[in-house]
Structure 1
């Protein structure tokens, strides 16, 4: 049974997929968005909503700067508030080796356009009075902040509805085959026909590309986060450390969200993920080390979620080689910040326009005859 034909079918309802579907519909396309679970509730719904330059790879800084502006002005283009708080960001160094790492990464990101400068511990204490006085130095960025991931999902749902996108939740796609007029997507017990396809499945991009006999390994990270009970003001910045193992912020209502890539347990194929006690304890100890006042509060919940990463930790965004009309977008490490703008650039290409910034073709990651490697310069994270 066929459910009709669309100009564009987007497979995956995270921020990447929802943004592409929204922009394409506003560009005049008849769009269906297919999500195996609930809209924006996988990686896009279980992360901390951090909007940061300090944890973004240097190659993505120009995209993150544009996207940060989009996030701050979300009511203008998305049509709804997503709880964005714009504030300063600090990354801390406690040891000599962390100082070296911090300087290297700050230099790389600053050269890419991020307003990041190195500051003394006295200057850091003025920016964030709650910081541990044992720090040696810090890097400071005036463009930082966070969104509310839950509100973001609600905002996209309303915006997609207003734009006329057909949203199909709990509709897992099981296969993709070419047809005379494009492609057919298999959803048991029906099929959906579309002239163009965009795959935005995050960690599931690897099996999705397998539908087209393309082998591209996608690493699955199982990132953990925790949240504290409501407490009085203990910090006013987005905080991290040089190693990247801490992401810390206090929301307006008083809870503090603790993250930083500590790993839980789970499996992409089963879809199961769970927290690790050791990671929860280690992450909390690091948070208390950075902001000592947190010692007086308690954790109330911890959770885990999948994050995708390519071999070079840069995204795959662009056409799928050998399959006209099929596009891919995702696997952006720490990609919540840059997702809306990257999706904007991809949608420009899908609509036949020249993207404002270059895409990230997957050819560079494909081995074998006929693959065209796109050089990617090594860089600090």
Structure 2
């Protein structure tokens, strides 16, 4: 028997779950299909950064849209998701980096964006008192913060199901195809049909896009994270560096989460990753150099999650350039967590109303129409 739904969403990360929830809020009844469980990879094991700071200009309107939702997240999903807003600070380690920060903020201001603010050494040390005296300043985005990723993804999934979404976990979507005006998908012994298909399958979304005639240059990555033993409280904002790959934040219990972009080796078909301890030690040394309080901390645990990175480091988001009723929502390139709530709202607007007031044109899959796919797994 074929079950008819309003939309089929493949992928149960924060993006798929957010889209399912927002479609339910718009009166539609979607089915969400996740081959593992919601938040198994990128959405559940990332650093939880909720940042507008240091984003590609093409992403900023979607990020701003999402910030407004984060600030009242409990009203949407009945859970505050551990969201705290102490700002995020990009630290310039030298005058050359501070000059680049100055140019970045000036460019954003000229485009009408005011969320990033240049700060001098005095303000940097007010916000991050323990930072090395050699750092001359940086940039702050004061409304930014962090949340708990697995808790957040689960909250979106739970609320979507409460509002009428059917959720399948532990069984992959197979035989995805267009049948007349409807999309068809098999889930175990069940078959679903809908006029809308949302490809939100994370690291596996590139395969789906290619199978449907829209190959894109995407690779599979596995960003690494590690957490330390507790140390005395020394920081409230999330701190990031650009010259050296680093981001970190301190939890209330004193532990410090360290990330920033170093990659493990992903084995996509096995759902597994192998950590690069040499790169992890680089991150640990960088933290110790900038913050003396961290020099006696020990690493308690490290991990990585599998996700997709686009060649230009910005996501594929919006309608298919080939098929009616197909929408893509993937390739968030290790910085998609903050975008999840807003992306789901915008995707629902695209599906229900055929358009959105949030500017997303530069994220279209059409930008890759004449490029080679070079997909890696």
Taking structure 2 as the reference length, what is the TM-score of the superposition? 0.91
Q: Which moved more, 1:7-16 or 1:245-254?
A: 245-254
Displacement of 1:310 in angstroms is: 1.8
Structure-2 residue corresponding to 1:41:
40
CA contact (8 A) 1:175 1:211 kept: no
Q: Does residue 100 of the first structure (1) align with residue 103 of the second (2)?
A: no
CA contact (8 A) 1:220 1:308 kept: yes
Structure-2 residue corresponding to 1:57:
56
Structure-2 residue corresponding to 1:376:
none
Structure-1 residue corresponding to 2:342:
341
Q: Which moved more, 1:3-12 or 1:238-247?
A: 238-247
CA contact (8 A) 2:62 2:359 kept: no
d(CA) in 1 for partners of 2:155 and 2:191?
28
SS at match of 1:101: helix
SS at match of 2:142: strand
d(CA) in 1 for partners of 2:266 and 2:110?
38
d(CA) in 2 for partners of 1:10 and 1:355?
19
d(CA) in 1 for partners of 2:110 and 2:87?
19
d(CA) in 2 for partners of 1:114 and 1:59?
15
Segments of 5+ residues of structure 1 without an aligned counterpart are 369-381
d(CA) in 1 for partners of 2:68 and 2:298?
34
Displacement of 1:321 in angstroms is: 2.2
Structure-2 residue corresponding to 1:158:
158
CA contact (8 A) 1:329 1:343 kept: no
CA contact (8 A) 1:102 1:242 kept: no
Structure having greater relative contact order (Cα 8 Å, sep ≥ 6): 2
Structure-2 residue corresponding to 1:326:
326
d(CA) in 2 for partners of 1:107 and 1:335?
25
Displacement of 1:353 in angstroms is: 4.5
CA contact (8 A) 1:78 1:156 kept: yes
Q: Deviations over 1:271-320 (max 9, x none)?
A: 32121111110111112222221112211100011232222222211111
CA contact (8 A) 1:61 1:114 kept: no
Structure-2 residue corresponding to 1:284:
284
CA contact (8 A) 1:57 1:109 kept: no
Displacement of 1:209 in angstroms is: 1.0
d(CA) in 2 for partners of 1:77 and 1:57?
27
User: Structure 1 357/248 Cα, relative in aligned 2: closer, same or farther at 3 Å?
Assistant: same
User: Structure 1 292/278 Cα, relative in aligned 2: closer, same or farther at 3 Å?
Assistant: same
Structure-2 residue corresponding to 1:311:
311
CA RMSD of aligned residues (A): 1.9
CA contact (8 A) 1:267 1:273 kept: yes
User: Structure 1 58/108 Cα, relative in aligned 2: closer, same or farther at 3 Å?
Assistant: farther
Q: Which moved more, 1:104-113 or 1:281-290?
A: 104-113
d(CA) in 2 for partners of 1:52 and 1:290?
21
Structure-2 residue corresponding to 1:135:
135
CA contact (8 A) 1:63 1:341 kept: yes
d(CA) in 2 for partners of 1:150 and 1:226?
16
Structure-1 residue corresponding to 2:221:
221
| Structure 1 residue ranges (4+ consecutive) displaced by more than 6 angstroms after TM superposition | none
Q: Deviations over 1:340-359 (max 9, x none)?
A: 11221121010124312133
Structure-1 residue corresponding to 2:120:
120
CA contact (8 A) 2:9 2:200 kept: yes
Q: Deviations over 1:331-371 (max 9, x none)?
A: 12312112211221121010124312133321111118xxx
Displacement of 1:12 in angstroms is: 0.4
User: Structure 1 108/338 Cα, relative in aligned 2: closer, same or farther at 3 Å?
Assistant: farther
Taking structure 1 as the reference length, what is the TM-score of the superposition? 0.91
User: Structure 1 21/310 Cα, relative in aligned 2: closer, same or farther at 3 Å?
Assistant: same
Where do residues 205-220 of structure 1 align in structure 2 (5 Å cutoff)? 205-220=205-220
Aligned length in residues: 367
